[in-house]
Amino acid sequence: MNPPVPYTRLSAFYFAYFIYIGIFSPYFSLYLQSLGQSASAIGMLLAGMQTMRLIAPTLWAGAADRRGRHAGLLRIALSLVVVVAAMLCFATSFWSLLVLMALLGFFTNASLPLFEAITFAHLRDDIGRYGRLRVWGSVGFIVSVTGTGAALDVWPVGILPGLVLAAMVISLACALLVPDVAARRDHHQAVSVCPVIRRPEVVALLMACFLMSLAHGPLYAFYSIHLAGNGYSKTLVGAMWSLGVMAEIVVFLLMPQLTRRFDMRALLAASFACGVLRFVLIGWAVDSVLTMIFAQLLHAATFGLYHASAVSFINFWFPGDLRARGQAIYMSLSFGAGGMLGSFSSGLAWDIVGAGITYTAASVCCLAGLLLVVWRVRTSPVQGGMTHA
């Protein structure tokens, strides 16, 4: 008999970890700006952090897969995050920030792939139940981004590093309570990921994921600056971020129904199509609050639907002993390489061509990703098996 899924403890970690994301992602660029860092310097600092997504997930996940267990390494990584976050409270120069943010990226980007592998091991491949757990990360993000935005209208932005530290301490405490699951080993299964990542549909998916993260580079690096520079209060900035994640929550809750009614490949393609529209609107219609609200609602597709679909493909294509490495490759090539290049290039473009052109380039990236999905991804994981397109 399979043991029961520890929903409460898994959900608690997602909630706590995304409290950190809700503090860092929308607002840390404002903190860096308050330290006198230029747009190009901010882009380089965030790109340096994203670079760790190329390295950290694969290194940590490879070690975890060899051991067959993941929770111990997750706790080690989060303990080191707490140490680095404490040091970040005192950093002000570009070089000290660069080093500490890179270290923060190295350890935080080990954490989520390891935890995703733990989650899927507990779920025993029941894809439909993933959204029920992952939605608590979205709830944590909303609580965090809304509360932080309101706080920054009252207190100086210099409180952010302390908030990051507090969030990571809570995440570590939750990780200590998460039970591990030994990997189910199939001795007939190849332990190398190379045969999997050479498959054309896997290559196409990973390239499309890279492009989606590349498109989100200017969003995560400069969206708050973009809104604040056009007269939005920090409370309203936080509300915009929260709105997008509330829409994302709806998608996570509806994923079991969506996967029963629609082909997963079609859902993934729809997320890229929505990205084409979303980034054009953000770049050229910032003066309209109503249009920005609509653009934020599209976050339901460009992150919620996209991520749930992508991890479902990865979880199916990289089963058993390959699971953590599959999630790590997805994180490294998409959020790592794509996020790094997106942050760096948007930092360079921001002062030269402006927000409109920068976000239009993001829209073009989504279009290219859409074409890859339609052209090469020919199979679709569903709850309980595989359907062929």
- Asked if 270 and 301 count as a contact pair (C-beta separation under 8 A), the reply is yes
Residue 286 pLDDT greater than 80, yes or no: yes
CA distances from 21 to 72, 144, 148, 167, 337 (A): 22, 8, 11, 9, 19
Give the other-Cβ count within 10 Å of 155's Cβ.
10
**What is the spatial distance between Cα 286 and Cα 284, in angstroms, rounded to a whole number?**
6
Q: What is the model's pLDDT at position 251?
A: 87
Residue 133 pLDDT greater than 70, yes or no: yes
Mean model confidence pLDDT for the chain:
85
Of 375, 337, 315, 362, nearest to 123 by C-alpha is 315
Q: Which helix (H) or strand (E) holds 249?
A: helix 234-261
Q: What is the model's pLDDT at position 126?
A: 62
Q: Which residue has the higher pLDDT, 388 or 73?
A: 73
Per DSSP (E only), the strands in the chain are: 379-382, 385-388
Top-ranked range on mean pLDDT: pick from 172-176, 177-181, 290-294: 290-294
Please tell me whether residue 379 adopts helix, strand or coil conformation: strand
- Asked if 329 and 308 count as a contact pair (C-beta separation under 8 A), the reply is no
Residue 69 pLDDT greater than 80, yes or no: no
pLDDT digits (tens, 9 = 90+) for 139-168: 898 899 889 988 988 899 999 999 999 999
Task: Please return the burial class of 385, using the count of CB atoms within 10 Å of its CB with bins 0-12, 13-18 and 19+.
Answer: exposed
Q: Which residue has the higher pLDDT, 379 or 67?
A: 379
Interval 365-387 mean pLDDT: 76
Please tell me whether residue 152 adopts helix, strand or coil conformation: helix
- DSSP for 154-194 reads TS-GGGHHHHHHHHHHHHHHHHTTPPP-PPPP-TTS---SH
Q: Provide the pLDDT confidence category of residue 62 given band limits of 50, 70 and 90.
A: low
Q: What is the model's pLDDT at position 172?
A: 94
Interval 346-375 mean pLDDT: 94
Residue 281 pLDDT greater than 50, yes or no: yes
Interval 183-206 mean pLDDT: 73
pLDDT digits (tens, 9 = 90+) for 317-345: 887 767 767 877 887 788 778 888 888 89
Q: What is the model's pLDDT at position 74?
A: 85
Lowest mean pLDDT among 101-115, 118-132, 298-312: 118-132
Q: What is the model's pLDDT at position 337?
A: 85
Q: Which residue shows structure tokens 């992602």?
A: 25
Q: Provide the pLDDT confidence category of residue 7 given band limits of 50, 70 and 90.
A: confident
**What is the spatial distance between Cα 57 and Cα 118, in angstroms, rounded to a whole number?**
14
Q: Phi first, then psi: what are they for 380, rounded to 5°?
A: -140, 120
Q: Provide the pLDDT confidence category of residue 64 given band limits of 50, 70 and 90.
A: low
Domains of the chain from N-terminus onward: 7-181+191-388 (1.20.1250.20)
Q: Provide the pLDDT confidence category of residue 386 given band limits of 50, 70 and 90.
A: very low
Q: What is the model's pLDDT at position 312?
A: 85
Q: What is the model's pLDDT at position 388?
A: 33
Q: Which residue has the higher pLDDT, 384 or 11?
A: 11
Paired with 382 in beta bridges are 385
- DSSP for 98-143 reads HHHHHHHHHHHHHHHHHHHHHHHHHHTT-GGGHHHHHHHHHHHHHH
Q: What is the model's pLDDT at position 111?
A: 82
Interval 91-113 mean pLDDT: 90
Q: What is the model's pLDDT at position 155?
A: 92
Encoded tokens for 51: 């670079």
Encoded tokens for 43: 């882009």
